[in-house]
Homo-oligomer: A and B are copies of this chain.
Amino acid sequence: MRHWRGPSDRQGYHHGNLKEALIEAAQRFIAERGIGGFTLADAAKLVGVTPAALYRHFRGREALVAEVAFRGYDELAKRLGRALQSEGTALERFTRMGEAYLAFAEQEPGFYAAMFSAKPAESESCSPFWAKAVESGGKPAGNAFDFLVKALADTFPEGFQTVDARFIAVEVWALSHGIATLDAAGQLPKGPGLPDKYELLRAGVLALVHGALKGKS
């Protein structure tokens, strides 16, 4: 199988790497126009292929979006895992995880939107963010939530006395998600005297953790 080397590389009848190219195109359009604004026709056109070609690789539109979301969960978990295993003190690594989360949401809005955009009211969908670890090519990949819990345990080895570490992990995640989405929507107040989102998350997380270390009040 030949390798796909760029849009101008298309020579013959076969694309060579259509599936990946479509995922990339979908990710890009979701980033630009949101989940609702993304269309199969645009993705196919960008990649230089007939819309029908898509059905060789995906069951339909929904499946393509789901695949983007899946890749997103994978990528986010990878980034958080990398931050967790980076150099420095435990606190530094923990802080780095927060930065990595916000950076991911900012740099990969297509992924983020696919992962977290509210689904039309179905039954309770469980989230790959915290669901049981997903197998990825044979080796068990940790989910993002587990990385977060682990980071909390590493960073504050004295432990949480009266509080489940998962409790704090949810708080930290919710704060991160709130900051990321408000920022993406352009709704975070900005101005002199107001911190940027990274400072916002750092200070907030410290407060949440220290509040918990003293026990629930």
Contacts and interface: CB of A to CB of B under 8 A. Distances in A.
A206 B211 contact: yes
A174 interface: yes
Contacts of A186: 119, 124-127
A175 B34 CA distance: 23
Contacts of A117: 34, 185
- Interface range for A: 35 or more
Interface string A17-34: 000000000000000111
B207 A194 contact: no
The copy count of this chain in the complex is: 2
22 contacts: A33-B120, A36-B37, A118-B181, A119-B186, A125-B186, A125-B187, A129-B187, A166-B189, A171-B207, A174-B179, A174-B182, A175-B175, A177-B178, A177-B182, A178-B178, A178-B181, A203-B212, A203-B216, A207-B207, A207-B208, A207-B212, A210-B217
Given A127-B189, A170-B188, A173-B182, 4 more contacts: A32-B120, A36-B36, A119-B185, A170-B200
Interface of A: 32-37, 113, 116-121, 124-127, 129-130, 145, 164, 166-167, 170-171, 173-179, 181-182, 184-189, 193-195, 200, 203-204, 206-208, 210-212, 216-217
